[in-house]
A and B are shown apart, each in its own frame.
Chain A
Amino acid sequence: MAKVQTHTFDAVIVGAGGAGLMAALYASKGANVAVLSKLYPTRSHTGAAQGGIGAALGNSEEDHWEWHAYDTVKGSDYLADQDAVDVLCKEAIDTVIELELMGLPFDRFPDGSISQRRFGGHTNNDTGKPVTRACHAADRTGHMILQTLYQQCIKNNVNFYDEFHVVDLIRVDDTVRGVVAIEIATGEFHIFHSKAVLFATGGWGRCWEVTSNAHSLTGDGPAICLRRGIPLEDMEFFQFHPTGIYKLGILITEGVRGEGGVLINGEGERFMAKPEYAPNIKDLASRDVVSRAIYLEVMAGRGINGKNYVHLDITPETVNRYFEEEGSERRIDRAYIEAKLPDIADFTRTYLGVDPVTEPMPVQPTAHYGMGGIPTDIDGCVVLDSSNKVLPGMYAAGETACVSVHGANRLGTNSLVDLVVFGRRTGVHMASFCQETALLPLPENAADEVMASFEAMLKTEKGIKPHELRKAMQTTMTANVSVFRTEETMSKAMKDLAELRADFQNVVVEDKGKQFNSDLLETWELGCLLELAEVTAVSALARPESRGAHARDDFPDRNDEEWLRHSFCHKEGDSYRLDYKPVTLGRYEPKPRVY
């Protein structure tokens, strides 16, 4: 085998999105840290987040972190662990303040405080009405968070290894010893030997055809974990955001509805107000509820022109009419839309030729966010099973992790909070872990196994193109494991995915070179996606109830008696095994969820 370069650090952080960078800032205060990212840090998908970061600052009206906690638990369809949710919502407040003190350019209220707007599922718990809780910087809040954290990392001399693609975790029994990465520019393998490893690799929306996720969101971290004996939690819960641009999947933030935008069906009705959907908070109901409503409208032939999309309308004409009907004093105009939603306006003008100030936007649900992921405790420590046994030195944070604060359905603005709150906690914990722990020796030939698998991939000369497999996977996931599922559809998906997994053995990588071999790396990523697609289908098929984003036509009700529990999916050889652990309850007893 070729020679492998070895680097030694206290801790290695994989991923430079919001979670990885926040953890890096804190971990580097007490440990020697390297951040590895397959993308330049500022290319991470955190930069795509639009609408806001939730925190009960109460800058314009009464709000409390306990209200935020209740909304989060209710939004999660009671599957979130309530101790973790308390941490999230309490610490949201001072992490948002911390971001501001780092220079993040939030929009401002006239009194100079951070501007906040309404967002789906966030309410005043006394009145049940929407509350202004989403702190934002126009509609590019994630961009500002990513830039600000990266800037702080530069200021604090954090070590970056940009365009290093991590492909394996070095685990020896119940310890971790580092990771194996490919330097994309040279194709060389490197070992990063360390006491601690953090996976902050983001989501895996590319399992589906229509998605808001970047091409690079291929679930590498969770897939590597699975292969190294770490289970994945709650993988049946994947969020479909109700408003993706028709066919393209590009996200239209919920902030549009927060600013007054409404969903309209083919008959011109504001359908979210119907009694069967969300008569109280209407268009600002939780995402799962709105996505299902759109789906049902479309199935009933009430899509626009009978097609599979509806309209999202933020034109001042429509919005002001509804404001007036509701007796609200608020009015919006062109200037307001351009100021509060500039990027959205740019997207729809660029990609659809639609001016949102004068025309409604065609939207459909888009695969958006993985609630599940690598199981952790509230300090980012990865757990190995349903008894919460920790794998010392192994951490996960951000979308890739499952703490679980989002349960069966994440509220808008809560991912960005999750990144910074748990990114910070994880960084702090890693630093102290590294101070207390000695570096364990590297096993011999630690990179050999994964290097051999890459060599094998390059050897295949005749067979199927990766792109064809990817398309087939996305097609079956979209048709069968989507907004609604049944035993029949999921079984179909499992069958298709098993075939695709077999085909993957014959996948052909055309580029046999070393430098910037994205053909090879994309194919490896496809392997990750295939595995996560399968885990999603397996976990979903095993849950005979409907909860949050997991909606089954054949089991339409939530079943708290038997299913108020988290799933853990383990990979054993070529098959999967599930076990379960109970949800941590707290102040909020599960009740039926109405909006």
Chain B
Amino acid sequence: MNLALRDIRHNLGRFLLTCLGLGLLLGVALAMVGIYRGVVEEALSLAHGLRADLWVVEAGSRGPFAEASRIPGDVREAVARLPGVIAAGGVTFQTVEARHAGGPDAAPAPEPGLAEDWVRERLGEAGRQRIGTVLRLQVVGYEPDRPGGPPSIVEGRGIGRGRREMVADRGSGLAPGAMVEMGGVRFRVVGLTARAVSTGGDPVGWITLRDSQELQFRLTPPAARRAQQGGGGGQPQDTVNAVIARLSPHARVEEVAAGIRRWKHFAALTAPEQEVVLTRSVVERARRQIGLFTVVLLLVSAVIVALIVYTLTMDKMREIATLKLIGAPDGSIVALVMQQALMLGAVGFAGGTTLLLAAKDAFPRRVLLGPEDVGSFGLVVFGICLLASLLGVRYALRIEPAQALGG
């Protein structure tokens, strides 16, 4: 005869209500875990997407994401000639406020799930209605046929030889055929990628390196432009933010990097080094902020579970005293309290997880939850419930059988 279960069944409504509240709280805590994972994932998303084995940047900088880096575009040839390097390409990065400038009446092809409805509702059925909408884009300039392009096209095609073409991420809400205006120049969206975002979560748009250099030039204030050009004409320079290199599988990355570091004016970062820079530096504060908040939420959950279990036990004071009076051993009383705490945690966890998994795509930034995240969160909740029930257990064990007597 399981007393914990029987007591819960007797007060089912109240138990479920408590579970609902705890479930919401645990759902929020789990959301924080997902947001945390999402921030890290998004920070690495672009670097991963570009599939660089080696980043060549300005000497003394840890660019191009963490710090500004400007190097001459022709460095790519020098890098490409190094033994072990298969291909090298110059890339530029700039964050641009682009303007939607019309295009086919294609409905946006946004993220799957809830977001789809959300975008439809907000942006209307036709692309036409979105003319003038400001889009924040992370624009990547690259040379077609060299490293630096979009990882994979999920709709439309890649950038051809022609100019003023763009491959944009689906997250921008742009559809193939749409026109985008940046720095007074119009680009036609020819293809889409999925889940390519900047470290800040902005969707990425790829254009050719030449277009991007022109754009960079146009977006620079005239005074700065003159200074850069040494007062000279109106032509953009062949400057890039980084050169990315792919190595042959047999090449030793460290050796190639060491070779580049010996060159004056340049620094080299391997892919793992870039990852460290991205997670430890670029999103460090966001990561710590969210991490800390997750811990706070878990502590709050622990306190709340402890309070709930404590009150549940206090409400059963008389029954527990009666159990002791009719000779129930301490073990069965501890089991009663702990099992209820665990059932509470289990139902709350299941509810919170279901809720979050259903809602996670509605978040503006990525909420990333793998089975292992959910699994370890479940273990943490289990531990919290066990710990939190100790207070109730202590109370239950201190109840005197004599407390069953009297009115």
Answer whether A and B are interacting partners.
no
Residues of B within 8 A of A (CB): none
